[in-house]
Amino acid sequence: MDHIELTRREELEASLAACLRERRMPDHFLYLDTAGTDSWLELDGAADFPVASDLTCLLETSLPRLIPHLPHHFNLVSIGVGSGEKERLITEAARTAGHQPRYLAVDISREMVSAALATVADIEIEKVGVVAFLEDLPRLRHLWEGPVLLCLLGNNFCNYEPDALLALIAGELEPGDRLLFDCQILPDGTDLTESLARIERAYRCPANARFNANPLVRRGLAPHGYAFHLELVPIMTTMGITYRTRKWLEITRDSAVDCDGQRIEFQSGEVIHLGFTYKYTAGQVSGYLGSHGFREVESFASGDGGNLLVLAEATTEGKGGPR
């Protein structure tokens, strides 16, 4: 099992230090190194944060309808792969149906990549681990041979600005390539109060607060020297009003962290801005796909209507040209 590093640990640590000096910490820094991996796995299993587990259940129940839409030979390229449990489900189901996938596990954490490869260690397929960002997609595409099933699972699709995300992906896929992603969604009706309250409760849970503060705590921030805040705010987008999380850490006592060989000090009352996740309706998801040249092949909704899994097909030739 090979590892390819398009992004190195030293570069990530230097980037984190630069962001902290600007009092911000994008979400990809939450997953760095073994501590970040362990912290994510703790959150993944938390009963009061069922987002990841609900999406895994949706994928598992959707596989009988999903697998027949996949080519006989394909590259399964999963970005933000995490522990790779969902990718194992796809790989096992595909092989059982006679398909022959090749697997590229992609994450910005080398430890996550190793964990994902270990999850499928007993499956006899070609597998490669890649340490990279989604933004490295123009370089990643040279590591696969079409057709490709590009996966953004575990709600990753919602952690990017939608038009920029889909424009990037559409530019690197060829006709017939497929995009598979899942997301926690809002009802298409007008009464959002209950859904918004349920989402806020989950995201404000203690396990998620610890997860978001963990990169700073393990670098020296006092474990009780912060307060975690989160709210869902309406955002006007090209598909109308949707909602996006706004989250931040409020420093509650003077403190400092050590990062990239630097000591970065924080004063009580300062705020560190964190990442975000969008909450779309199913109709908005379809609208975004269509506006970027994707055809929706199949979609799967959870029984409560709160989660969505979408398989889409690229219909226009990517900017990289035929492979």
C-beta pairs of 205-210 under 8 Å, 24+ apart in sequence? 205/46, 205/48, 205/49, 206/48, 207/42, 207/43, 207/46, 207/48, 207/49, 208/43, 208/46, 208/49, 210/39, 210/42, 210/43
Cα(first)–Cα(last) distance of the chain, in Å?
24
Q: Residue 322 has what pLDDT? A: 43
Spans in the chain with pLDDT lower than 70: 1-2, 190, 318-323
HSE-up of residue 76 (Cα within 13 Å, Cβ side): 29
Q: Residue 33 has what pLDDT? A: 79
Provide CATH code, domain 51-187+281-314. 3.40.50.150
Q: Residue 202 has what pLDDT? A: 92
Q: What residues are paired with 73 via a beta bridge?
A: 100
Closest by alpha carbon to 210, among 34, 43, 19, 37?
43
- What CA–CA distance (Å, rounded) separates 135 from 18? 19
The phi, psi pair for 134, rounded to 5°, reads -60, -35
Q: Where are the domains of the chain?
A: 51-187+281-314
C-beta pairs of 228-231 under 8 Å, 24+ apart in sequence? 228/204, 230/200, 230/203, 230/204, 231/200
Q: What is the DSSP letter of 108?
A: S
- What does the pLDDT look like over 196-242, one tens digit per residue? 999 999 999 999 999 999 999 999 999 899 999 999 999 999 999 99
